[in-house]
Structure 1
């Protein structure tokens, strides 16, 4: 398989210490991508080497997260990693863009995922405008599939880049998705795939909180987080 890196994280799987594996390759070219070095390939590594890395980190970890890139490009390797993680008793999380609904169903049918984080990059009808790939229907299909599995926690997350998304787009996304948790992530203007976004406006964390608060008022039963460099991950509560 081709991979980029591994890290240990306390935030990638909420309330659990996780070992995160970044697999290489992605069919998308999102302008704000911060892992663009992984888009076309990475270091060749065997499944056995990945398993060794998991074993070495297992005593510090509660979970393994398979991220990317887009992990479902390397479907069989992703499945084997998740199978092994299950075998040794750790929780599993999969990050995906939702671009491969049939591959996602195959993984979920195997019962290998506890937590699924899906990037919802724009309102479904605005994907081509925002990321130059018209995959809104595929993402919607992937979300519909994910919601068939009651034992899988589903997080939808949107990177809020003011140069590409209006505030109103965030409200529309929440209207369109069904998930256990919706997270608005802060765009960071460093090392972006589209160089025109280098130095572009980053959303102010206080403004993000205000937007999320308004969304929460319209959707009081929806769990909502914001994730910023300044304050990390914050849960949005209804104000009295």
Structure 2
């Protein structure tokens, strides 16, 4: 069995809140967002034996408590993803997935086989889940299915950690309100600062103003300030907590 390999980070403290992890990147993505910070691995081919990636994970195992599978889109390669998740669990590591949710059946398989501990579901604000056109409407339905699946698993205790992440650029305020309505109150919603050449990113105060309209506790993530928990107008005042 082989992986279309995108890269490996042996030690990261920013990809899973509160944990030191390694990160395995899978090459290839069906979405190809214009602002993706991993555009170099959206396409192309670098086939590696699964055993080679297992060896990379093992080489980091003394320094980490978990593995994040990212991309690209890891769920595009279900056989390799399940094999690497199974291997990681076998050597005592927790497993996490960063996914755009386009392949809910793969996510379901990971959960049913108890091969995943944490999922960060990246919902694209510009899809708006329901109002987009053409093929994006079908994609939005698949992402909504993944959101429901992960939420149900989290509430049932079969998924120990789940968060929804949406990357924001100027003009995306209305879209995030639609997304927020479908995120259960006990699920972390992360408003992530979008960064792209030629576009002025939203700063922390601008992201707080968007969060105020949601009237719920959220996490706000920027490059300069890291991540804070923000309650804002929910408690009649700014309440950011690092």
Q: Which residue of 1 aligns with 2:34?
A: 31
Counterpart of 1:187?
194
Q: Which residues in structure 2 correspond to 1:59-98 (within 5 Å)?
A: 59-98=62-101
Q: CA deviation at 1:40?
A: 1.5
1:129-168 aligned at under 5 Å gives the runs 133-134=136-137, 135-149=139-153, 150-151=156-157, 152=159, 153-162=161-170, 165-168=171-174
**Residue 209 of structure 1: CA displacement?**
2.3
Give, in whole Å, the separation in 2 of the partners of 1:127 and 1:9: 35
CA distance in structure 2 between the aligned counterparts of 1:80 and 1:41, rounded to whole angstroms: 22
Offset of 1:148 from its aligned partner?
A: 2.5
1:90-109 alignment to 2 at 5 Å?
90-109=93-112
Q: Secondary structure at the match of 1:84?
A: helix
Following the alignment from structure 2 to structure 1, what is the Cα–Cα distance between the partners of residues 132 and 13? 31
Deviation at 1:128, TM superposition (A): 4.3
User: Which residue of 2 is the match for residue 2 of structure 1?
Assistant: 4
Give the deviation of 1:177 after TM superposition: 2.5
> Are residues 47 and 148 of structure 1, via their aligned partners in 2, closer, same or farther at CA, if it must alter by over 3 Å?
same
Partner of residue 225 from structure 2, selected from 227, 231, 236: 231
Match of 1:111 in 2: 114
TM-score, normalised with respect to structure 1: 0.87
Cα deviation for residue 9 of structure 1 reads 1.1
CA distance in 1, matches of 2:30, 2:192: 21
Q: Determine the C-alpha separation between the residues in 2 that align with 1:169 and 1:209.
A: 15
Cα deviation, residue 17, structure 1: 0.3
Partner SS, residue 233 of structure 1: strand
Work out the number of aligned pairs and report it. 223
1:236–1:169 distance in 2 versus 1, CA, 3 Å: same
Distance 1:9 1:210 in 2: 30
Deviation at 1:34, TM superposition (A): 1.7
Q: Which runs of 4+ in 1 moved over 4 A?
A: none
- The range that moved more, 27-36 or 69-78, is 27-36
Structure 1 alignment gaps of length 5 or more: 190-197
TM-score, L = length of structure 2: 0.86
Higher relative contact order (CA 8 A, sep 6+): 1
